[in-house]
Amino acid sequence: MTVIPPLTVLVYMKDSQLVAHCLEMDFCTSGRSRDRVVTSLYNLIRTRIQSAVAKNGQFNLFRQAPLHYWKRLEQAELIKGCQIDLGREAVATKFHSQKIDVREFDCC
């Protein structure tokens, strides 16, 4: 079984938009509402993982964000810890757990 590592989500402002950025996967979503950008990012992560598993390519998912985002994380505030439910039992059975641990940080 494959273990998905805990993910780090950094939320910050860029060009008058909020951005939610998964640092381990280098995926971003943007918009005007914090709840929307985070929810959109979680949906994107879930969809990408499910798609990769269906193609047996789950190891291609992880590409670290550039170093300057990780440095911003040092000054960010932990907002909450939560989990993303992978859904579909057929997909989730390939993983150690059906849920992915996520830590959200705010850098606004």
pLDDT digits (tens, 9 = 90+) for 63-108: 899 999 999 988 898 888 888 877 765 455 566 567 777 888 888 5
The pLDDT value recorded for residue 88 is 62
Contact (Cβ atoms closer than 8 angstroms) between residue 39 and residue 16: no
The pLDDT value recorded for residue 90 is 42
Higher pLDDT, 36 or 53: 36
Contact (Cβ atoms closer than 8 angstroms) between residue 4 and residue 99: no
Query: What domains sit in the chain, N to C, each tagged with a CATH number?
Result: 7-106 (3.30.160)
> Which amino acid is residue 66, in one-letter code?
P
First-to-last alpha carbon distance for the chain, in angstroms, is 37
Higher pLDDT, 15 or 61: 15
Cα angle 102-39-52, degrees, rounded to a multiple of 5: 70
